[in-house]
Structure formats: structure tokens, C-alpha cells
A = this chain, B = another copy of it.
């Protein structure tokens, strides 16, 4: 805690957008309006267009949010994706020096960045650079990621809404699959962490499931990056369920990998486009799903017999900005933004905002906001705890208890 520097605030959004990232943006803005702007400490709230690009480039690309009325902010909050625009830039030392330069030019004393662990790292470096240069600026990281892979957090804003989409999609798709039979593979986002794919298990509507995959409600099989993927076991699993039921619904993370940690996707893909982070592109392409479908078709076609009906859907970008959110997610995303503004007003020198679950009693889920050091969240990725997985091809009741309160009420369906 220390005396509050007087100047302007900058806020930006980074990485893959979510359905509730604008809730966090609005949370910061309204928190500042009622706090540091009202007290005269902050003169202007400046939105950075396309994240740090908006402050790093000459002249800047900034939008004044200082006097934005509550009514307008409410509409923005309910709008999916990043209203300021986002960026995939992962600033290195030099880039961070440019950011600091832009901040000084605009007299930024409070820096808020909404994003994943890369964004926390940007905050950390900029914070350090400012300190080295003797320029007083306070950096706050506001969590966001559908991957749910930030350390120090029970879960992250954006995850619950995407999980709700994945659950609903598997509910509808399971009924579709049951009506016509065959094998259905659904590829879900999640490069390092399986949380989002695991949400498919909520489509079953029950906590406990059988060790025998053929006795589980759909999805019968779920594969996540945390559990080594063995192609032979996968094909045996599918064969077991399909032979017993004439159908099989499978959820699979885009980031499944073998025992050596090598991703399965690129091994099945035709092309291998690499993004700015050196990662092979897995989303926005149906290649992993199609590759798995080909493998299943090949393995399960009897000699001289008919190939089973195998279909693959890659959920792709629909799952992260679907315009119907989990209500808890929307509230919490707003809350982490407000909390960041509050920490700034309270004189904190910088932090990463966190979500802590305080009650998981059924029907009485509660959470509160905390803070962690930027360095504790930056770069690190959280993986699913071991007890969220079961039997190499399933998700446990422990995950159900963890995730169910977050996605909100689900529809109930009938059966003939």
C-alpha cells in the first residue's frame, strides 16, 4: 500500500475472446468510474485497441471510456468477444519497452490487462520495466480463458460459458447419435488442459458412471490431454461401446497427446500450419476429428464388410463466443474486473485477480475474489487434477461436483 499516483488508466483485452470478456472490461471501467475517477486520482480511462498493440504503436490506438454511461456499458458487457479488439501478440522485452513508452506518453499510471497466462506475463514484464525506469505504474492482470488453465484460480472467467456450450452440444448430439446410431467424435478446444472437454461429461446428467464405457450414458468416452492417448486403447474402447450399443459418442480434446507428450493432432494432419507461438494450428480445422474418424473406420470395418457410420464434428470457435452465457460466469467475469479496480483504489502495487470458491454446497455455490502475485500466474499453465479423470477414458464424479455449479441449470429431456 502506498500513495496513489495521479494520471490515466489503460485497459486492454488479449488472446482468444470469450463470451464474457466484455463483462470484465465493463467491471474495470465501472469500478474505476466509481472509485479512482470519482476521487480525481484517475483522469481518463483509455481502452487499448487490440490489446497492447493499441499502446505500443506510435501515437497509440486508444478509445476514451471515462464517461461512458452505465446503460451503454451494460450492453457492451452482454456482448460476446472483445469489444476493444484482441491480439495474439506475446510481447518480448523490446515490445514491453515500447508498451512502457506508450504508457509514459499517455501518462498511464494504472494498467489493466484481461487475458490468460501470457497476459499475466505481459503485466509482469511491463511492471518490472516501469519499476526499473523509476516510472510509477501499477499493473493488474484480470483473468480470462475458456481453457481454465490459470494457476491460483479455482476456475477462470470464460470457462463456465464455454463449458455450458460444450455440455449442451453433447446433450443434443447424444440424442442425435442415438436416433441414427454410429460413432460420433466431437473435438473440443483445449490444448494443454482438459477442463473444457471434461464438461462434456455433464451432458450425462449424473455424477457416477460405470467402469464399463458401454454402460455409461453418452458421451461414452472422453479423452483429455492430461491422460496419455494410446491409439490402440482408443480403438478398443470405441469397438467395445459400438459392439454393445450400435453407437458411441466420444469427446476428445484438440490437445490429446501420447505418452511421450507428442500431440496426436499433428500426427494425423495433412498440413501443419504453425502460429506465432510455434504451435501447430488445431482449431479452425477439422483435421484431428477427420483423422480419428478415418482410424476408427479402418479399425472397425470387418474384412469384406461394411464400414460403420463414423462422423466427426470439431466445435471450433463457436464454443468460445456463443451468445448465451452461464449466469455465474457473467457475474464472476464482471466481478474480477471490479475487484481489479478496487485493488487499485486500495493502493495495491499490482496483482493478478483470482477466483476462490467458498461454498460448493449444492444449490449454494459461492465464490469470492482474491489476488496473487503476477509471477505466480504468468506463463504457468494449470492442468486438471488427477482425480478429475477415471479409467483412462472417463471423467470422474469429482469433476462433476466441481463443474456442475458453474454451468447453471440444464434442460431435462424425456425418453421413450
Contact = CB atoms under 8 A, between A and B. Distances in A.
Interface of A: 13, 16-17, 19, 47, 63, 65, 72, 75-76, 78-88, 168-169, 171-173, 175-176, 178-180, 184, 270-271, 273, 281, 283-287, 289-290, 293-294, 307, 310-318, 320-324, 411-416
Given A286-B287, A316-B313, A173 B321 contact: yes
Given A184-B317, A413-B78, A312 B284 contact: yes
Given A323-B411, A414-B79, A88 B318 contact: no
A88 B175 contact: no
Given A172-B321, A324-B324, A290 B285 contact: yes
A251 to B, nearest CB: 13
Contacts of A413: 75, 78-80, 323
Contacts of A19: 172
27 contacts: A16-B180, A17-B179, A17-B180, A63-B416, A76-B414, A76-B415, A76-B416, A78-B413, A78-B414, A172-B322, A172-B323, A176-B317, A176-B320, A176-B321, A184-B284, A273-B307, A283-B311, A284-B311, A284-B312, A286-B314, A311-B317, A313-B314, A313-B316, A313-B317, A315-B318, A318-B318, A323-B411
Given A78-B414, A79-B414, A286-B286, 5 more contacts: A86-B179, A176-B317, A176-B320, A285-B289, A312-B316
A289 to B, nearest CB: 6
A195 B320 CA distance: 26
Given A312-B284, A314-B313, A88 B180 contact: yes
Name which of A88, A184, A290 has the most chain B CB atoms within 10 A of its CB.
Answer: A290
Please state the number of chain copies in the assembly.
2
A80 B169 CA distance: 11
Contacts of A84: 416
A76 B416 CA distance: 8
Nearest to A288: B286
A257 to B, nearest CB: 21
Nearest to A176: B321
Contact of A414 (B13, B63, B75, B415): B75
A287 B284 contact: no
Name which of A80, A171, A283 has the most chain B CB atoms within 10 A of its CB.
Answer: A80
A80 B174 CA distance: 10
Contact of A178 (B85, B317, B324): B85
A83 B414 contact: yes
Given A75-B414, A317-B313, A416-B76, A87 B290 contact: no
Contacts of A286: 285-287, 289-290, 312, 314
A247 to B, nearest CB: 10
A67 to B, nearest CB: 13
A180 B318 contact: no
Contact of A83 (B168, B307, B311, B415): B415
B412 A175 contact: no
Contacts of A178: 81, 85
Contact of A173 (B88, B289, B318): B318
